[in-house]
A and B are shown apart, each in its own frame.
Chain A
Amino acid sequence: ETGVTQTPRHLVMGMTNKKSLKCEQHLGHNAMYWYKQSAKKPLELMFVYNFKEQTENNSVPSRFSPECPNSSHLFLHLHTLQPEDSALYLCASSQTVGDGSNQPQHFGDGTRLSIL
């Protein structure tokens, strides 16, 4: 059983739809992350949360809205997306953000998003 669970695994939506991606970690970690992985491009960090507080927003368009109600759950709310937003969205968690450079991030299986 994976320590980081993402739902749904696949999502197809129109540009005017509103949907949310969900991530849950069962590892007791305090930091959570959203990444975007487009075809033939390196992973792009989108958001970082540490102890429920957003510590990083990598110039992500406002049509992506993250929410972190507690250290175990992370959401990505989607609204009025564009075709170029089609990608694999990966959630990750780690023990903390500030210290411990040797702590790996543990990833979920991702949500494969397609925008029609």
Chain B
Amino acid sequence: AQKITQTQPGMFVQEKEAVTLDCTYDTSDQSYGLFWYKQPSSGEMIFLIYQGSYDEQNATEGRYSLNFQKARKSANLVISASQLGDSAMYFCAMREGHGSARQLTFGSGTQLTVLP
């Protein structure tokens, strides 16, 4: 079973509007972390925001916020006031609390296009 599911291969949003990118995850661990990354066409993966499983408040970083619903195992990224430079691939990732490697597991990504 997939550990990270991003059901939206592509999304379009009008400039200055808000957009929500969906992410659901699957884990039996109590301690885990959820990350969102942005990948422009240049290839670099840019860390955006982090949410810990024990964090009671939703994480926010500037125009990015994470809508964390633990019971539903969802961690949707909300981008407010979209800008043209937000056009990129967005990846949701999870690090579970077990194992020596504590590796990140990535979803398949959502291609966001911001329209002028």
A-side interface residues toward B, CB under 8 Å? 2, 33, 40-43, 45, 48, 55-56, 88, 90, 92, 97-98, 101-102, 104-110, 112
Contacts and interface: CB of A to CB of B under 8 A. Distances in A.
The 8 closest A-B pairs by CB, nearest first: A107-B45, A110-B43, A104-B47, A101-B33, A43-B106, A56-B101, A109-B44, A42-B106
A102 B44 contact: no
B84 to A, nearest CB: 21
Interface of B: 4, 31-33, 35, 37, 42-47, 50, 52, 91, 95, 97, 100-109
A45 B44 contact: no
Nearest to A109: B44
A97 B101 contact: yes
Contacts of A42: 4, 91, 105-109
